[in-house]
Amino acid sequence: MGVLFRPGLYEIEPLVKFVDDFVTDEMIKEVADQAALGRLLLVATTDLDKEETIVWDMGKIAAHGGKEAHDLFRDVLVASASIPGVFPPIIIPVDSAGGRYDEMHVDASATVPFFVAPALAYVLPLDPGTLKGANVYVIVNGQLGAKPQTTPVDTISILSRSFTAVLQHRARSEIALTSEFAQKYGMKLRLTAIPVSYPFQGPLDFHKSSSQQLFHYGADCARAGKLWTTVEQLVTLDENDLSAAIAQKQPIGKQPIPACPLGDADKSPQTSTNP
């Protein structure tokens, strides 16, 4: 029962150290330099106290420089990866006219699966007409459906399956909203997600081997120009994929690696394949 009184199943310190190793002064300066040229780096978290999605302008944070900017930059990145209940929330101090207080932040997936619409219209100080003809590429870091399987009766398995189910259904709703937003403003939407038939163990699988396997699968699909799909293509692919996965009658994790989605190679952006 002790797990019920802990802020997370795992300690946060290893994740903080891992992120901190990458958040160097050089990296922060590069982000600040790019922000000065007008480029945006936005990271979303969930403020548990307000129960709202918070979008951080990392370029503005980087531009301040110094230790406080470094720590805030790192803490925002860690918070954006802190799955509620799995990792403890990140406490971020805030200064306001009313004084200094603390906010509790976790992964933005608690409120929104990905950040495109309609919040984009509020973040960018642009006339909506300037969005016409723009390309929007959405990476769903998960699956939009799942092969039926028995859930083991243990805390991590139940938490993982519950969290996955919430993410899947919220992602579907957000895709529909984003598709409507893109059509309204004349934007072209392309998506990619982990195929239903891929042997994906869920968002709480932190094993290095499975993470590398998934990365290389995505990189191979990108090289082949078979990564990006339209909403209509993705729906059809997932329906066929789910039928094939069920027909295989193999447990999750034992399924063969599926073929890549039928991508829109002509309109794909430049994709890095470096781990």
Quote the pLDDT of residue 120. 59
Q: What distance in Å separates the CA atoms of residue 244 and residue 237, rounded to the nearest whole number?
A: 10
Quote the pLDDT of residue 240. 63
**Residue 274 is assigned to a structural domain of this protein:** no
Residues 128 and 105 in one domain: no
Domain that residue 32 falls in: 2-110
Quote the pLDDT of residue 87. 84
**Residue 101 is assigned to a structural domain of this protein:** yes
Quote the pLDDT of residue 37. 95
Residues 156 and 74 in one domain: no
**Residue 102 is assigned to a structural domain of this protein:** yes
**Residue 273 is assigned to a structural domain of this protein:** no
Residues 189 and 92 in one domain: no
**Residue 141 is assigned to a structural domain of this protein:** yes
Question: Where a domain ends, among 55, 80, 110?
Answer: 110
Give yes or no for residue 143 having a pLDDT over 60: yes
Instruction: Average the pLDDT over 151-179 and give the result.
Output: 81
Q: What distance in Å separates the CA atoms of residue 214 and residue 212, rounded to the nearest whole number?
A: 5
Give the residue with greater pLDDT, 180 vs 271. 180
Please give the mean pLDDT across all residues of the chain: 80
Which range among 128-137, 194-203, 246-255, 258-267 shows the weakest confidence by mean pLDDT? Answer: 246-255
Residues 174 and 259 in one domain: yes
Question: Would you say 147 and 254 are in contact if contact means Cβ atoms under 8 Å apart?
Answer: no
Quote the pLDDT of residue 248. 54
Instruction: Average the pLDDT over 53-59 and give the result.
Output: 92
Residues 91 and 138 in one domain: no
Residues 210 and 242 in one domain: yes
Contacts 24+ apart (CB under 8 A), 58-62: 58/31, 59/31, 59/32, 59/34, 59/35, 60/35, 62/28, 62/29, 62/31, 62/32, 62/35
Residues 52 and 147 in one domain: no
Distances (CA, A) of 161 to 4, 112, 154, 158, 171: 18, 18, 11, 5, 15
**Residue 206 is assigned to a structural domain of this protein:** yes
When divided into structural domains, the chain yields a total of 2
Residue type, 97: A
Residues 10 and 80 in one domain: yes
Quote the pLDDT of residue 209. 87
Burial of 247 by CB count in 10 Å (0-12 exposed, 13-18 middle, 19+ buried)? Answer: exposed
Question: Where a domain ends, among 91, 110, 129?
Answer: 110
Question: Where a domain ends, among 110, 138, 162?
Answer: 110
Give yes or no for residue 169 having a pLDDT over 80: yes
**Residue 183 is assigned to a structural domain of this protein:** yes
Give yes or no for residue 49 having a pLDDT over 80: yes
pLDDT digits (tens, 9 = 90+) for 65-119: 999 999 999 999 999 988 887 788 999 988 877 788 899 999 988 888 877 655 5
**Residue 58 is assigned to a structural domain of this protein:** yes
Give the residue with greater pLDDT, 220 vs 5. 220
Q: What percent of the chain has pLDDT over 70?
A: 78
Residues 169 and 207 in one domain: yes
Residues 133 and 239 in one domain: yes
What is the signed CA dihedral for 209, 214, 220, 222, rounded to 10 degrees? -150
Quote the pLDDT of residue 273. 46
Residues 144 and 250 in one domain: yes
Contacts 24+ apart (CB under 8 A), 151-157: 155/3, 155/9, 156/9, 156/204
- What pLDDT band is residue 244 in, cutting at 50, 70 and 90? low
Instruction: Average the pLDDT over 140-159 and give the result.
Output: 79
Quote the pLDDT of residue 242. 56
Residues 171 and 240 in one domain: yes
**Helix or strand holding residue 222 (H, E):** helix 208-223
